[in-house]
Amino acid sequence: MPIADKMVKMVEAASTIRKMFEEGIRMREKFGADNVYDFSLGNPDVPPPAAVQDTLMDLINDNSISHGYMPNPGFAHVRQAVADYLNKEFTVGLTPDLVVMTAGAAGALNDCLRALVNPGEELLTPAPYFVGYNQYAFVAGATLVTAPTRPDFHLDLNAIQAAITPKTRVVLINSPNNPTGAVYSMEELDGLGRVLEAASKKFDKRIYLISDEPYRKIAYDVDVPCIFDVYDHTIVLTSYSKELSLAGERIGYLAIHPKAEDAALIAGAAGVANTMMYVNAPAMFQHVVGRLQGITVDIGIYRRRRDLFCQGLKEAGYEFDVPDGAFYLFPKSPIENDVEFVNILKEQNILAVPGTGFGGPGHFRLSYAVPDKTIAGSFAGFKKAMDSLR
């Protein structure tokens, strides 16, 4: 075997996603870009706010800024800016030494898992869940365990409680959620905090909560509660991939609750984990986000698309929960086999992702990080696909 045995399965899984990406390119070449409705990727097309370009230009002309190595957790002034912002938003009393700048949310997740999880320990997440978690668990040597959510994709606390074992080290949640768009309420998060406190006592082992929040700013008419308020032993992580449309620039951070058990040790380990992968988060974009705390893309664009998509899908006869956040819809597949239904959609030049890959069989995911005209243009195809089953 030319590549490591343990990589074979991971490469196969990654190539499924790559195949879909390549299929999109092939279909655009064959049918023309305007005749292909590609909802497969969560890659923001909304331009970054003008302040990003302005700040970049200022920084390019500023000879005083450093482009060199720095402490592995990131520039001190940037970590201070992040801590100041979070303290203003959440009043948690965060200090910059508990902030680690990372290469996106993926970098932060890898840091946290490397810092916390021993090989063979379990990472528990509600399903459906973001597919990247399989890879991050793999890298950390953790076993990914899932607990089902309720039919509306909100937390099923009994299922989480039942899935916790003596091997559970981390519970990982993501709200607003990819792929379902669910935003967890304060009440359910409070309940989760109580479950984790009780389970940590029961198994005489600290269970940490990781809250993966790259979509925090993309929420419609609902509060995204502060997770730090419900459980002390929490690490919040996020990125600027979605809220500033900077997914390719690889910039994000993790922040550890000051009262978390061994908070300083975890921050130190996360910083060292940075050195194992990419040494430090990209310098230029640390400088950029350090100056742009609290700025976001125009969320109104995503709200408009969500409403447009929901209306069209409803009229075509699809069933789904209207998402409260992120930029995904997760409708029920009209037939049991979601992979087969995604193939039926492909006959209409519509690209979607089967829910099975997210641990949510019987559904399919649509990303509305695409132009309005792609959404509007797809409705006839969605209707035809539905009608073809009658």
CB of 62 to ligand PLP, least distance (A): 26
Residues 51 to 80 in contact with ligand PLP, rule: CB under 6 A: none
CB of 306 to ligand PLP, least distance (A): 16
Query: Of the ranges 103-111, 120-128, 156-164, 332-340, which one interacts with ligand PLP (CB under 6 A)?
Result: 103-111
**Alpha-carbon 38 to chain mean position:** 20
- Per-residue mark of binding to ligand PLP, 308-347 (x: CB under 6 A): ----------------------------------------
Minimum CB distance to ligand PLP smaller for 200 or for 213: 213
CB of 177 to ligand PLP, least distance (A): 7
Q: Are 218 and 328 in contact, with CB atoms under 8 Å apart?
A: no
Minimum CB distance to ligand PLP smaller for 200 or for 211: 211
Residues 194 to 213 in contact with ligand PLP, rule: CB under 6 A: 212
Provide the pairing of β-strand 122-127 with 99-102.
unpaired
The alpha helices in the chain, defined as continuous H runs, are 5-31, 50-60, 76-90, 104-116, 132-140, 157-163, 186-202, 263-277, 283-291, 299-315, 338-346, 372-387
CB of 127 to ligand PLP, least distance (A): 13
According to DSSP, the residues that pair with 145 across neighbouring strands are 124
Count of residues engaged in binding ligand PLP, rule: CB under 6 A: 14
Residues 151 to 180 in contact with ligand PLP, rule: CB under 6 A: 174, 178
Q: Are 375 and 368 in contact, with CB atoms under 8 Å apart?
A: yes
CB of 363 to ligand PLP, least distance (A): 16
- Which residue has its beta carbon closest to ligand PLP? 104
Quick one: which of 101, 26, 154, 14 has its CA closest to 285? Answer: 101
Compute the CA torsion angle 88, 94, 96, 97 (nearest 10 deg). Answer: -170
Residues 132 to 151 in contact with ligand PLP, rule: CB under 6 A: 132
Residues 237 to 266 in contact with ligand PLP, rule: CB under 6 A: 239, 241, 247, 252
The token duo for 34 is 């305007």
Three-state DSSP state, 230: coil
Q: Does 42 bind ligand PLP (CB under 6 A)?
A: yes
Residue whose token pair is 């979605």: 242
Query: Of the candidates 24, 44, 73, 104, which one interacts with ligand PLP according to CB under 6 A?
Result: 104
Minimum CB distance to ligand PLP smaller for 285 or for 309: 285
Query: Of the ranges 32-40, 68-76, 100-108, 276-284, which one interacts with ligand PLP (CB under 6 A)?
Result: 100-108
Peptide bond into 361 cis (omega under 30): no
CB of 178 to ligand PLP, least distance (A): 4
Tell me how crowded residue 149 is: count the other CB atoms within 10 A of its CB: 22
CB of 105 to ligand PLP, least distance (A): 4
How many Å apart are CA 380 and CA 362, to the nearest integer? 22
**Alpha-carbon 156 to chain mean position:** 20
How many Å apart are CA 170 and CA 193, to the nearest integer? 13
Q: Which residues bind ligand PLP (CB under 6 A)?
A: 42, 104-106, 130, 132, 174, 178, 212, 214, 239, 241, 247, 252
